[in-house]
Amino acid sequence: MALFRRKTAVVDMPERRMAKRRSVDCPARLKMLGGDKHGRLTDLSEAGARFDTTDPPCEGVSGLLEWNNHEYFGKIVWANEHGCGVVFERPIPHSVVDKTVGAAAADPPQGPVANFGKIPMGQKRGRRTVFVPE
């Protein structure tokens, strides 16, 4: 009896974050009263950041997040075994986010570069025929 069924409206869920997060990858340090934690900044927005580190601080701890000659005060709002989320006390300038994202993109890629001369052209993988002389 779908004819008499009430129509349900599709409602978009509101974005829970105040600002769009941007992916970055740069070394960072979280300065706290109990000691410093070294790790990596993996995403950043005007409102907060994700700080990946071993043995992250507990939720509710305040500290100074420092990266690339920038430092901003914030509070840990979530933590797991791999990192934590920091909400800044005051929103940081959009130019700082852009500069950090640009600096991360300008870093040269790590690891070996592929040697394109060794890639066989026009052949499918796994279908190579090996000829055995008789």
Prediction pTM value: 0.64
What's the confidence (pLDDT) of residue 88? 94
Domain annotation for the chain: domains and CATH numbers: 22-103 (2.40.10.220)
Could you tell me the pLDDT band of residue 122, with boundaries at 50, 70 and 90?
Answer: low
Instruction: Tell the residue number behind the tokens 């997040």, with chain if given.
Output: 65
Q: What integer best gives the mean pLDDT of the chain? A: 80
Using alpha carbons, select from 42, 59, 35, 45 the residue that is nearest to residue 15: 45
What's the pLDDT tens digit per position in 76-102?
A: 999 999 999 999 999 999 999 989 888
Average pLDDT over residues 6-25: 63
The total of other beta-carbon atoms located within 10 Å of residue 83's CB is 20
Residue that wins the pLDDT comparison between 30 and 34: 30
Instruction: Say whether pLDDT at 24 is over 70.
Output: yes
Q: Distance from first CA to last CA of the chain, Å, rounded?
A: 75
